Amino acid sequence: MRVITGISRGRRLVTPAGLDVRPTTDNVKEAVFSIIQFSIEGRRFLDAFAGSGQMGVEALSRGASAAVFIDSSKQSVDAVRKNLAAAGLEKNAVVVKGDTLAYLSSQRERFDIAFLDPPYRTGLLQSALALMPAALSKNGIVICEHPADEELDESIGRLLLKKRRKYGRIMISVYSDKDVEGL
């Protein structure tokens, strides 16, 4: 696993050991960042259920102004910190060891782009999505990685499902405000 492009291009990233972490493949990561490539610079990025933190690290490498990484696993949080250090991107990052749903429920900060990739088939994705309208800035974007056979709602509060892309057994679903064009 590596940083694909930006100021930390080519840096190797570590993944926590075990079966609980399922890193996003390079081809899916490239697809996600091609969707948001013109929306990332200077934006606040949320890497929820961060695992190794590779998505937030990639966002920072590509010019995001800040990234928040949330994971409940100590092993994952340690990996995120190692990856931020390896990429030289700690300055604009906040790493939170805790429950993503509790964090989203209690925070007042807003994110411009959120990446949600919780453990599959646990209901966490739907619960996190329900909290996103309050955690997202106006015209923000939510990107969900989930099993291709799992259907998500067409709208969540003010957010509308704008795009779906299938990559083998993985689906990427993208939500944004109803009046946002161009996704």
| 23-42 tens-digit pLDDT | 777 788 888 999 888 889 99
| Cα separation, 100 vs 171, whole angstroms | 21
- Determine, yes or no, domain membership for 116: no
71 falls within a domain: yes
Average pLDDT, the chain: 91
Q: Print the domain residue range for 7.
A: 1-13+41-90
> Quick check: is 129 in a domain?
no
Residues with Cβ < 8 Å from 15, sequence gap 6 or more?
1, 21, 23, 51, 52, 79
List all residues 6 or more positions away from 115 whose beta carbon is below 8 Å from its beta carbon.
32, 45, 46, 47, 48, 55, 56, 59, 143, 145
**Structure confidence at residue 21 as a pLDDT band (50, 70, 90):** low
Q: Is residue 134 part of a domain?
A: no
88-97: pLDDT as tens digits = 999 999 999 9
- In a domain? residue 68: yes
Q: Global pTM? A: 0.93
Tokens of 7: 């100021």
29 in a structural domain: no
Query: What's the pLDDT score for residue 3?
Result: 86
pLDDT at 14: 87
List pLDDT tens digits, range 57-109: 999 999 999 999 999 999 999 999 999 999 999 999 999 999 999 999 997 88
Residue 50 domain-assigned (yes or no)? yes
What CATH number corresponds to the domain at position 58?
Answer: 3.40.50.150
Cα–Cα distance for residue pair 160/78, rounded to 1 Å: 34
176/111 Cα distance (integer angstroms): 12
Cβ-in-10-Å burial (0-12, 13-18, 19+) of 109 comes to exposed
> Given this model, what pLDDT does residue 183 score?
65
- For 111-148, write each residue's pLDDT tens digit: 999 999 999 999 999 999 999 999 999 999 999 999 99
Q: What is the DSSP string of 66-122?
A: EEEEEES-HHHHHHHHHHHHHHT-GGGEEEEES-HHHHHHH----EEEEEE-PSTTS
Check residue 129 and give its pLDDT. Answer: 96
Domain count, the chain: 1
Q: Strands 111-116 and 136-147, how do they pair?
A: parallel
- Name the 3-class secondary structure at 181: coil
